[in-house]
Chains A and B, each alone.
Chain A
C-alpha cells in the first residue's frame, strides 16, 4: 500500500478512536463483565460473597412461582402497551403525515405537532396524572362536570395504563413518527400518484394500492422503533409512581431496574434481562433484515 494511502487510513483510525473507544467501553466491555456474573449469585456490584451457581439463574424464572407471577404480569402489561402504542403511532403519525402530504406542508401545524417532543417522558407521566388522576384529574373533572362521564378514568388503574398512556405517548411522539412517515411518502415517485389520479382512483384506492405498497420499508422502520420504544418506556412510568407503589406501572423495564438495583439480586436481574431482551433484539434484527430486503426490491 502506498504510504500516502496508509497514512490516510492511519489518520482515519485516529479520527475514529474517540467514539470507538467510547463504544467499546460502553457497549462491549459491559457485556464481557456481565458474562461471568450470569453464573454466580452476585447480589450487587459490591457483593463480596459470590458463589458459582451454574445455570440456576436461568431456570429461576421457571422455578420461583412468585417471581414468575411478577414477571408474567410485567410482560403482559408491557405487551399490552406495545400493541396499543404501535396502533397509536400509526393513528397519529400516519394520519398526520398523510394530511401534510395531501394538503401541502404547513409549518405552523408541524410546529404544533412536534411541540410535545420537547416534553420529557418523565414530565409526560406527571401530565398524565394531572389530566387523568382518579379524583384530581382535570379531564375527569371537566367531563364529570359536563355530565359526559360517570366513573373517572384513572390513569393508575389497569385500564388507564393500558388505554390512556399509549394515547399520551402517541401524542408525545406524533411529530417524530409523522416525520418518518412523511419522508416515506415523499420518497414515492410522483408519477405513480399522478397515474392513479388520472386513472380516476378514489382516495382509498390510492392509499391502499399506491401509497402503502411503496411505503412498506418505512412502515417496518416505524414498527421497529415503536416496538423497541414500548419496551424501553421508563421515565413516564417512574413519574406514574412505578417506584412509589404503583402496581400497574410495573412494566418490564421497571421490573428489571427494581430487581437489578433495589433487590440485591443483580445476577438474577442480568439473566432475566437477557432472557427478555435477547428475543426482542432478534425480532428487531429480523425486522431490519426484512426492511432491507424490501428496500432493495423497490
Chain B
C-alpha cells in the first residue's frame, strides 16, 4: 500500500516543485521528531515516576531517584502507608501471631527489639520495597499474575470468537441481495448510533439477573462464579459490531461467485467450499479484525469492572483497586499501567505493518 500511495503522488519535478518538496520533507522531519518526543516522553516518565516514592513526588525527577536504605527509626505506620505494606504479610514473615496488634507508632528498631527480630532481617525484608517501589508491591500482589492471565485469556478467546463469528455472519450476509440480509446488516450498523450508555444499565440488570440464576454463583471466589463472569464478559466481545460486520460482509461479497460455482461443479457442498476454499482466503479480514481487537479487548475496562469481582478480575480493574479515595500509591499504579501497556506495545511494534493495514482497512470501510 505504501508504494501505491507513493506512485499516486509522484509528479514531474520542476524547480519550484522541488523546492516545495524539500520544504515538505523538512516539515516531515520536524513533525516526526516533535511527535516522537510527545509520544515517547509519557512512556519514559511512567517508568521513572514508578520509582519516585510518595514523599518525593513533588520534585522533578528526570531519572529514577537513588535507592535508599530503610530507616530503622522510621515508624511502622508511616512506612506502611508509603510502601503499601501488607501488615499481615509483615507479621507472617517475622512469626508475629496475626492477632497481635503491632503499634504503628513504634519504630522498626523498637519492633525488632520487642519481637526479637535482628535488624539485618528487617532491612532485607523492607529494602526491596524501597528500592523497587511500585514494582515490588505490584509483583508481590498475588492477584497480579492471575489478572494478567485473565486479560490474556479474554483477549485470545475474544479474537478467535470474533473472527469465527464474523466469518459466519459475513458469509450469510454476503452480497446483500435479499431483504433479510439487508435488514440484519442494517440492524448491526445501527449500533453505530446507539449510545452504549443507553443500553448499559439495562444490560447490567439483565446479565446480573441471568448470572444469579446459575447454581453456586453466589459462592464468592467459587470456580463457577469466576467462569461465569469470564463468559459473561466474553459474550460482550463476541456480539456483532458495525466494524466486524462491514469488514467481513464487504470482503466476502468481493469474492467472485465463479469460485463457488466451480466448487459446486466439482461436487463440493457449500460447507466444503466454505471450509476449504473460502476459509483460506479470509486471511486479510481476519488479520484486520485481529489487529483491531487486540487493543480493543485487552484495554477494555468497563465490562470486567462491572461484571467481575475485584478479587478475580483482569488487569485494568485490578489497578483501579489501587486507587483510593484518600490516598493512592501512584508508584504501584504507574508500574501496573506500564505493565498493562507493555505487551500491547511489543505486539504492536512487532506486527506494525498488520496494524497499519488493519487501521486503514477499518477506516476505508467506515
Contacts and interface: CB of A to CB of B under 8 A. Distances in A.
Interface of A: 8-9, 11-13, 15-16, 18-20, 22-23, 25-27, 29-31, 33-34, 37, 45-46, 99, 101-123, 126-127, 129-131, 135-136, 138, 141-142, 145, 171, 175-176, 179-180, 182-183, 186, 190, 221, 224, 228, 231-232, 234-235, 238-239, 241, 244-245, 252-253, 256-257, 260-261, 266, 269-270, 273-274, 276-278, 280-281, 284-285, 288
Interface stretch (B55-63, B85-93, B221-229): B55-63
Interface stretch (B1-9, B68-76, B107-115): B1-9
Interface string B164-182: 0110110111000010110
A135 B337 contact: no
A122 B172 contact: no
Given A120-B340, A126-B337, A183-B363, A253 B197 contact: yes
Given A105-B2, A112-B36, A126-B337, A99 B31 contact: yes
Contact of A256 (B197, B236, B320): B197
B253 interface: no
Interface size class of B (residues with CB under 8 A): 35 or more
Contact of A239 (B202, B205, B323): B323
B188 interface: yes
B32 to A, nearest CB: 5
A16 B58 contact: no
Q: Is the interface of A mostly helix, strand, loop or mixed?
A: helix
Contact of A16 (B169, B302, B324): B169
Contact of B35 (A45, A103, A112, A244): A112
B239 A235 contact: no
A103 B25 contact: yes
Interface of B: 1-2, 5-6, 8-9, 24-25, 27-28, 31-32, 35-36, 38-39, 42, 45-46, 49, 57-60, 165-166, 168-169, 171-173, 178, 180-181, 184, 187-188, 191-206, 208-209, 212, 235-236, 238-240, 270, 295, 298-302, 305-306, 316, 319-320, 323-325, 328, 330, 333-334, 337, 340-341, 344-345, 348-349, 352-353, 355-356, 359-360, 362-364, 366
A118 B348 contact: yes
A105 B3 CA distance: 8
Nearest to B294: A118
Nearest to A279: B195
